[in-house]
Structure formats: C-alpha cells, structure tokens
Structure 1
Amino acid sequence: MDALDPSRLTRVISPLKRTLLRAARQADGLPDIPDAQIEVLRALPAGSALSPGELAARLQLKPSTISNLLGVMADAGLITRTPTEHDRRSSEVRASNAALELLRRFDQSSGAILGQALALIDPGERAALAAALPALERLQGALEQVSAAEGAHA
C-alpha cells in the first residue's frame, strides 16, 4: 500500500489554495474574483485570443457555462470580445489589461506570502516541498487526463 493518502492530500490542497488566495487578496487589496473566472483568465495569457468554444474545450466546461462566465467578466471589464474578421458571428476573447494586471499583482503577492511562510518551516520540509514539485506538476497532468476521460464517458 502506498504511504500517500489521496483523501489527506485533498484535505490539504483545497484549504492551502483558499488560504493563499485569501492572504494574497488581503495583502494587496485585490478583488475577490471567483475561481472559475481566474481559470478563464489564466487560459488567456497576454496577447492571446481564443473563441468561446476553444475556451470551453480547454477548460472542459459546457459552452453555456463559458457564455455565462464571459458575460459577467465582460461586464466587470476582465475580458474583451471582438468579432472575428472571417465570421462576424464568431468572437475572440482576450483578457483585458486590467485583468492581466490583477493576475500579475496576485502572482507577486502570493509569491511573497509563500516565501514568508516557507521561511517559517524547517529547511528539511522546504527541501521536501521542492523535491515534490515535479511530482505535483505530473499529478496535475494526470488529473487533467482523468478529467478528460471522465468527460468523454459522460
């Protein structure tokens, strides 16, 4: 039996993420943007544009869910939608400069907070976390594969 308990890992990851988000928002006075909107913005790095359908496929969300998210985000000034040149009925979605600046500030703030927190733990634990990063990155990829397979069976 593996020493890794998936239930324990879940119980650690979710609160870890929420705590980091809350701390970064408080530290830098950042707005409370829902996770789903953050995922859309992360899928739209500076200079990139995707159609709503491409976003839905990339994020494995229903087109209606993406449509609703994009409407709210456009109203909040987080994204822009422009008709495509070849088909005026289609659109391209881009993250706004304001949204990209919020992501930059969040990344900077969360990095600083993590640095402070890491300084409070034992050097051996910091080394263990550093050593675990490649495995966590592979775990993310594996979770995406499982999610895609589950979506194909739905």
Structure 2
Amino acid sequence: MTAPQGSGPAAGPGEQDEPARGVLDPAGVVRLRLVVARLHRQLAQASAGQDLTFAQQSALARIEQHGPLRLGELAALERVAAPSMTRTVGPLVAAGLVSRVPDPNDGRSTLVELAPDGAGLLATIRQERSELLAGRVAALSPGEQAVLRDALPVLEHLLVEGGS
C-alpha cells in the first residue's frame, strides 16, 4: 500500500496513522473548546454584567456597533427570531440601558439605541474583563506570552470563519 502523493509514508502493519504535525486532533479540539468556554465564563463572572444574560450583553454590543436599529434588524444580526429579540430587549429598556426612539424614516416604527447607562455598563464590563485577562497574561512566562500573541491572528480567523 502506498501513500497518496504529497503525504508522509503509509502506516505499516500495526501502526496507527498519526495526525500531521500541527494538526489539531479531536482531543485537541475538545481542549480548545473547554478552555475557551471556561475562560469566557470566568471573564463573565468577574464583571459588572453578571445580571445580564449573554443574549442581552450581545444585543447591547450590537446596538453600540451598528447604531439605532429596528428590532428585526437586530434580530437578524444576532441570528434569532424577532420575538426572541423582543424578550431580550424588553428588560434592557426597563433597566434604562436601551432606549426606544421613533424611526425617522417610518413614523410607525421604532428603533432601539444604546442609552448612556448602557454605554457606561458596556465600558465597565470591557474594562473589568480586560483587567482580569491582562493580569492572567502578565503571569505567563515571556515565551508563553509570545505564543499567545502569535496565536491571536489564528483565533481571530476562527471568528471570521464562524460568521460572527
């Protein structure tokens, strides 16, 4: 049995195929997923936004990023149904983090925009999470910090591929 052109030698009898050097095997994918999930949870627990759901925090950030939006537009950006977005935004309006304003192009519609308290809360959440992460990174060795820095473009590429 011969290996396809361009690949390494075929596994001999009794040998297991090993992943190519640098390829993340299924166990590595599981480790990556767990690290990302646990780090996200730790960051969320260490910030002022603990009383907000993930969906609410994400909606606040989208509104900040895209400006005043119709609920349907926000729902499309968040990839959820409009009724779900209505349930997400309602408590944000009640808490004074988001405001409903008339749509200047259609008097029958309203837009949601970030209220000053919402902008302040987002800034606080980001600062607290960045401070926690900066402290953790500072505790790494210089070599580990370099590996992490070099991995950033790859991690950012994962976001692009995921459509976020």
State the Cα deviation string for residues 27-50 of structure 1 (Å, max 9, x = none). xxx552111111001102278211
State the Cα deviation string for residues 50-88 of structure 1 (Å, max 9, x = none). 111110111111111011111121111111111213322
State the Cα deviation string for residues 93-127 of structure 1 (Å, max 9, x = none). 11111011011111112222211111111111111
Give ranges in structure 1 of 5+ residues lacking alignment: 146-154
Give yes or no for contact 1:81–1:94 (8 Å, CA) kept in 2: yes
Give yes or no for contact 1:77–1:96 (8 Å, CA) kept in 2: yes
| Cα root mean square deviation, aligned | 1.8
Give ranges in structure 2 of 5+ residues lacking alignment: 1-18
Match of 1:124 among 137, 143, 150: 143
From the CA coordinates, give the structure whose radius of gyration is larger.
2
State yes or no: 1:78 paired with 2:101: no
Choose 39-48 or 53-62, whichever is displaced more. 39-48
Choose between structure 1 and 2 for higher RCO, CA contacts under 8 A separated by at least 6 residues: 1
Give yes or no for contact 2:44–2:50 (8 Å, CA) kept in 1: no
Classify 1:47/1:15 alpha carbon distance in 2 versus 1 (closer, same or farther; 3 Å). Answer: closer
Aligned length: 141
When normalised by structure 1's length, the TM-score is 0.83
State yes or no: 1:24 paired with 2:47: yes
Percent sequence identity over aligned pairs: 30
